[in-house]
Amino acid sequence: MFAIGDIHGCDQQLETLLDSITPVPGDTIILLGDIVDRGPNTARVIEMLMHLQDTAKVVFVRGNHEEMMLDGLAQKNMKRSAWMYHGGKEALDSYGGNIGDIPPWHLDFLMSSVDYHENPYGIFVHATVEKNIPLHAQTVNALRWIKLKGNEPPYMDGRTVYCGHTPQREPLVREGWICIDTGACRGGWLTAVEVHSQTFTMVKKDAMMKDVPVSEFRF
C-alpha cells in the first residue's frame, strides 16, 4: 500500500516513481491530492494515473488544486481566474489551452476523488485533520486547505495521518504524522511512502532514493 504526495503535473517524476515502485495487482495506491496544476504536464499525469487503475486499486484524495480546477471549469469569472493564477494555466496548456479539449473522462476522474480515505493502517488526507473531530465531520477547510504547522498532536484514535499540501524539503515525520509534499514541481522530490514497510521512495529530476526507512526522517 503506497501513498503518493503532491504530483502537480510532474509527469516525468511520476513515470520514474511508478517504474520504481512497480505496483502489482492487489496493491493499493492512495493519491494524496494536488495531482494537477503548476507542473509541465497535468494531462499526461492524469492519463498515467487512470492507466494505473488497470493494475492497482487507486484511491484519489481530492486536493485544494482539484477543488480549484473543478470550480474554475464550472464557473467563469473569479473561480476561473483564481485557478488560472494558482497553476491552472499550466494545467490547461497541457491540453492545448482550451477547456473544451479536456477529455470528459479526465473530468470524471477528478470528480471521482474523495474528501479523505481511511483504513486500519492510516488516515489519508490532502492537508490536515483536527484531532478531536470524527473524520466524517472534518471541514473541507481542514481536509484541503489548512497548512500543517508541524506540532499537531496525533489524531485521537492514534492512527498515523498521511498528508501532503504543506511543502517540505524532505518528508516530515512526527508522532502520528507523515507529510510527503516534498515540492516535486519546484525542483524537489516526488515522494511515495509504502505504508506496511514504512519506507519512502523519492524521485527528483536527476536523483532517486529507494526504500529509505521512515525512521531516518524522524527527529
User: Where along the sequence are the contacts to Mn ion (CB under 5 A)?
Assistant: 34, 63-64, 165
CA distance 158 to 177: 10
Reading the block at residue 185, the C-alpha cell is 514541481
Least separation, in Å, of the C-beta of 64 and Mn ion?
Answer: 4
Residue with the CB atom nearest Mn ion in the bound state: 165
Nearer to Mn ion among residue 38 and residue 174 (C-beta): 38
Least separation, in Å, of the C-beta of 22 and Mn ion?
Answer: 27
CA distance 34 to 215: 26
Nearer to Mn ion among residue 4 and residue 56 (C-beta): 4
Least separation, in Å, of the C-beta of 147 and Mn ion?
Answer: 9
CA nearest neighbour of 116 among 63, 42, 58 = 63
DSSP E strands, the chain: 2-4, 28-31, 57-60, 117-119, 122-124, 161-163, 172-174, 177-179, 190-194, 199-204, 207-213
Least separation, in Å, of the C-beta of 50 and Mn ion?
Answer: 21
Residue 33 is given by DSSP the state S
Strand duo 199-204 + 117-119: pairing: unpaired
Nearer to Mn ion among residue 52 and residue 69 (C-beta): 69
Reading the block at residue 165, the C-alpha cell is 499540501
Least separation, in Å, of the C-beta of 179 and Mn ion?
Answer: 11
Nearer to Mn ion among residue 11 and residue 34 (C-beta): 34
3-state SS assignment for residue 68: helix
Least separation, in Å, of the C-beta of 63 and Mn ion?
Answer: 5
CA distance 35 to 168: 17
Nearer to Mn ion among residue 63 and residue 72 (C-beta): 63
Reading the block at residue 199, the C-alpha cell is 519506507
Nearer to Mn ion among residue 64 and residue 168 (C-beta): 64
Sequence-ordered list of residues with C-beta below 8 angstroms from that of 136, at least 6 positions apart, any chain: none
